[in-house]
Amino acid sequence: MEGIDIIDPRFNSCVLPNAPLEALGAGFRWLEGPVWFADLDCLLVSDVPNNRIMRWTASGGVSVFRQPSDYANGHTRDREGRLIGCSHLGRCIHRTELDGRITVLVERYQGKRLNSPNDVVVKSDGTIWFSDPFYGIVTDYEGSKCQAELPANLYRFDPRDGALSVVADDFQSPNGLCFSPDERRLYVSESGVPFATDPVQHLRVFDVSADGARLSNARIFHKVEPGFTDGLRCDEDGNIWSSAGDGVHCIDPTGALLGKIRVPFPVSNLTFVGRPRSRPFICGSHTLYAMYVTPRGAARPLVPLVYCVCGGSAERCPISPTRRRSIAMRWIFVSSTKQRRTAMRGAN
Ligand code: MG
């Protein structure tokens, strides 16, 4: 198949011979941090050096969602569906509330400023896990050059009580991260010291403790070549879809490379999109790509939101109960047009 490398015969059933790689938008500087809003049928993605977040919809194509973005990088959604983002310039993790306000969740550890949070995931218990390397403070290109106050740690933040803990402290530069579908493992990319001639770059895996609060048994899981793992995602079978210098690599849970989707430019990140989450959207440097595959992206710990426009009454809601159940919505009743507009602006 053109543009597909089958390394292991198992990868044959992961790709479709008649599904080409599609370019959905171009002209960006460096795409990162894609996040899918299934309830709103839109993707948000950071264009980091251009200091903006873009929005893609099937009907409207690409438009600007937020500018300036404070050099936003990684994104995810919490269990309530709110946007959780990494800010290079703000050196923080923040949350976009349903009314559009931005709440800073984490900006300091033991009184010292974070470096430049890079990527973030939310576990099913609502805790927020993020990496904090130096990429946003070593130059002004993707943030603001300044002195680091902390090592490049991996953190766990519990928004219920505000507890912030270091879960791994031996990275040169932790980068993308992703839980296995059962959340017993956490995959984290090590992308090395910025500008090093021979940076340490590999994908690590940790065991997650039964209480979900700690990591152990760190080991090297896989080394992507060419390039390195930046962002990554799991599919429902536990395979890892990793960014790489020549595209997207699919790796099984033992660390064996199954195959590759070739992309014309180095890939920084991806996310599974659509219903049923079988269309990876791929950040290919300055171009946004997509391609249909057969596996489904692992369901993320997310309860999709739908803003009910019926004045707070489920009985008057225009969406049928069957439809509501089918997509496992969580309902937020918005009682006025003004509130509804504000909520939609905040969430999409
Ligand atoms: Mg990254």
Q: Ligand 1 centroid vs 236 CA: distance in angstroms?
A: 22
Q: Ligand 1 centroid vs 311 CA: distance in angstroms?
A: 41
Assigned architecture for domain 4-290: 6 Propeller (2.120)
How do residues 51-84 score in pLDDT, each as one tens digit? 999 999 999 999 999 999 999 999 999 988 899 9
Q: Which of 147, 134, 100 is nearest to 346 (CA)?
A: 100
DSSP three-state, residue 54 = strand
Structure token digits, residue 60? 């409207």
Domain ranges of the chain: 4-290, 305-347
Residues 108, 180: Cα–Cα separation, whole Å: 28
How do residues 76-115 score in pLDDT, each as one tens digit? 999 888 999 999 999 999 999 888 899 999 999 999 999 9
Cis amide linkage into residue 304, ω under 30° from 0? no
Q: Ligand 1 centroid vs 318 CA: distance in angstroms?
A: 40
- Cβ atoms of residues 239 and 251 within 8 Å: yes
CA 48 to chain CA centroid, Å, is: 14
Widest CA span in the chain: 63
Rounded mean pLDDT of the chain? Answer: 88
Across 108-124, average pLDDT: 97
Across 249-253, average pLDDT: 98
Residues 19, 311: Cα–Cα separation, whole Å: 43
Structure token digits, residue 70? 């404070």
Residues 323, 308: Cα–Cα separation, whole Å: 13
Q: Ligand 1 centroid vs 281 CA: distance in angstroms?
A: 15
Q: Is the dihedral of CA 117, 157, 243, 66 positive or negative?
A: negative
Q: Ligand 1 centroid vs 315 CA: distance in angstroms?
A: 44
How many other CB atoms are there within 10 angstroms of residue 294's CB atom?
12
Q: Ligand 1 centroid vs 177 CA: distance in angstroms?
A: 9
Q: Ligand 1 centroid vs 303 CA: distance in angstroms?
A: 24
| Residues flanking ion ligand 1, Cβ below 5 Å | 118-119, 175, 230
Look at the pTM and tell me if it is higher than 0.85. Answer: yes
Q: Is the dihedral of CA 298, 116, 283, 25 positive or negative?
A: positive
Residues 157, 104: Cα–Cα separation, whole Å: 12
Q: Which of 207, 174, 208, 171 is nearest to 188 (CA)?
A: 174
Which pLDDT does position 345 carry in this prediction?
35
